[in-house]
Amino acid sequence: MTLAIIHTRAGLGLEAPEVQVEVHLANGLPGMTLVGLPEAAVKESRERVRSALVNAGFDFPNTRRITLNLAPADLPKEGGRFDLPIALGLLVASEQVPPEALAHVESAGELALDGRLRPVTGVLPLALAARAAGRRLIVPRANADEAALAGDLEVLPADHLLEVVAHLLGQAPIAPHRLSRPAARADHGADLIDVRGQHQARRALEVAAAGGHNLLLAGPPGTGKTMLASRLPGILPPLSEDEALEVAAIRSVSGLPLREQWGRRPFRAPHHTASAVALVGGGAKPRPGEISLAHHGVLFLDEFPEFSRHVLEVMREPMESGQIHIARASHERRYPARFQLVAAMNPCPCGHLGDPRNRCQCTAAQIQRYQARLSGPLLDRIDLQVEVPALPPEQLTSRAVGEPSAVVRERVIAARQRQWTRGALNAHLAGRELEAACGLEAGDRAWLAGVLERLRLSARAYHRVLRVALTLADLAGAQRPRREQLIEAIGYRQLDRMLKG
């Protein structure tokens, strides 16, 4: 047989489109041609495959004209994952391996010059696609655990090309890799019981967790803003199976470890010097940014105004849509980005505005410039804006403790269950569905209109108030928000009014 077709897959963000490696041996001037829009690492596979086959003891068709086609031709091919499929295609085309042995098999892996298999990135999306296609998957042993996370898929791990060929020839079958998915970790991280005082901030944290709302904490240094933010993942519900797979797939294409993080809510805290590409993703070869790595988890931005204004503004669209679309001249990627934003900031450049223990040294102009770094449209997208004041010494030294995270988490789970009966978390409800879910009485509606007018809140802020009020009602076990929930929800917008002057 002079023509072989081997199944594999490319990496296109979180997608893994099928690629057919077509190998043709013909008479003519000896040589090897690789076509199908390969990038540099794929073009170099010709030399890796040649050396791997020769060093493993196989016959390389040196006297034939070899044409390798990676179809479809208009799909970019990147990385070393095509080494193993190309090697198997050459073996089938030169009649060293029967073609029927690879009829229902996909493969991926990089080859060392001696035939050893090296791991590649992005195996989980590939495994999920292979499972959907009903095929078995051959991967390097180092990728076997990751591929097995796909569930109902026959994963065949190998350390060397010789093992793969022996399996295909029926000489030494490879046992399918069996791995029960790791259980979600019982350790929920830092506990709320460690937080002293700050009752309003703790309440806002619970509301944010219950409704999926974004949260801004503002206060002097050392008041517990970072401590509060780090405890948000601990009061969020466990990830569902589908959510855990989505989080793992993002980590897979980013080359990050999966097993120890399985089932845990992501918590990402980039430094304020991070670029727009680092935060939202992109680059010459588009990769997920911090907002995608925080998918189904928490993105914590400390020193919020210190981030470049351009960096913060590029987050506005993903905060609304829950995804990021990266377009380049030759690349286009979509990554999910349904994260909860928790931001922390000082009230002024020196940090002591409103601190009774320290006198603020900033001028009015300095304070205005500092607060103006946060645009009105960005603040409108943050549902909860809370002041975190300096604690008096008696609260810091008190032995009184608040509720532990486990107790708060139970209330959060109960509130979210009420929301799922409506079809979505409150933070993601659209205008018509939100109005119907709130069902405000005429008196409350008129009262709210007057308050919004006096506070000069935008239409987007109005819907944010309704979403938070609905979450407060869910926490209270009420069917509809009442006046007390509306008052509390508006209280979480006071900082918004102050920052916008």
Asked whether residue 273 is domain-assigned, the answer is yes
The predicted-structure confidence for 368-382, as pLDDT tens digits, reads as follows 899 888 888 888 889
CATH code for the domain in which residue 133 is found:
3.30.230.10
- Written as six digits, the tokens of 20 are 């057919």
Distances, alpha carbon 55 to alpha carbons 66, 213, 452, 475, 480, in Å: 19, 58, 76, 66, 73
| In a shared domain, residues 144 and 265 | no
In this predicted structure, what is the pLDDT of residue 358? 85
Distances, alpha carbon 157 to alpha carbons 56, 146, 174, in Å: 18, 11, 7
In this predicted structure, what is the pLDDT of residue 261? 79
Asked which of 168, 183, 208 is the last residue of a domain, the reply is 168
| In a shared domain, residues 149 and 210 | no
Asked whether residue 104 is domain-assigned, the answer is yes
| In a shared domain, residues 200 and 163 | no
The DSSP symbol for 212 reads T
Asked whether residue 177 is domain-assigned, the answer is no
Q: How many other CB atoms are there within 10 angstroms of residue 246's CB atom?
A: 17
| In a shared domain, residues 163 and 199 | no
Give me Rg for the CA atoms of the chain.
Answer: 28
In this predicted structure, what is the pLDDT of residue 343? 96
- Written as six digits, the tokens of 24 are 């043709």
Distances, alpha carbon 56 to alpha carbons 6, 48, 108, 161, 381, in Å: 20, 12, 18, 7, 59
Distances, alpha carbon 231 to alpha carbons 190, 208, 269, 319, 358, in Å: 5, 12, 13, 21, 28
CA distance 209 to 215: 10
| In a shared domain, residues 159 and 224 | no
Asked whether residue 334 is domain-assigned, the answer is yes
| In a shared domain, residues 274 and 131 | no
Asked whether residue 286 is domain-assigned, the answer is yes
In this predicted structure, what is the pLDDT of residue 178? 85
pTM, full prediction = 0.89
| In a shared domain, residues 199 and 153 | no
> Which residues form the domain of 163?
3-168
In this predicted structure, what is the pLDDT of residue 462? 85
| In a shared domain, residues 152 and 67 | yes
The DSSP symbol for 77 reads B
Asked whether residue 184 is domain-assigned, the answer is no
| In a shared domain, residues 343 and 253 | yes
Give every CB contact of residue 423 below 8 A, 6+ residues apart in sequence.
433
CA distance 445 to 442: 5
Asked whether residue 302 is domain-assigned, the answer is yes
| In a shared domain, residues 66 and 214 | no
In this predicted structure, what is the pLDDT of residue 345? 94
| In a shared domain, residues 159 and 299 | no
Report the Cα 153 to chain-centroid distance in Å: 24
CA distance 295 to 266: 7
CA distance 489 to 493: 7
In this predicted structure, what is the pLDDT of residue 283? 81
Asked whether residue 173 is domain-assigned, the answer is no
Please report the beta strands in 136-207, taking only residues with DSSP state E, as ranges in sequence order: 136-140, 155-158
Distances, alpha carbon 300 to alpha carbons 43, 214, 233, 318, 331, in Å: 41, 10, 11, 15, 29
| In a shared domain, residues 284 and 395 | yes
Let me know: does 282 contact 289? Beta carbons within 8 Å: yes
Q: Does a cis peptide bond (omega within 30 degrees of 0) precede residue 72? A: yes
- Longest Cα separation, the chain: 90
Q: How many domains does the chain have?
A: 2
Report, as ranges of residue numbers, the positions in the chain whose pLDDT lies below 70: 1, 180-189, 329-330, 396-397, 399-400, 494-501
CATH code for the domain in which residue 471 is found:
3.40.50.300
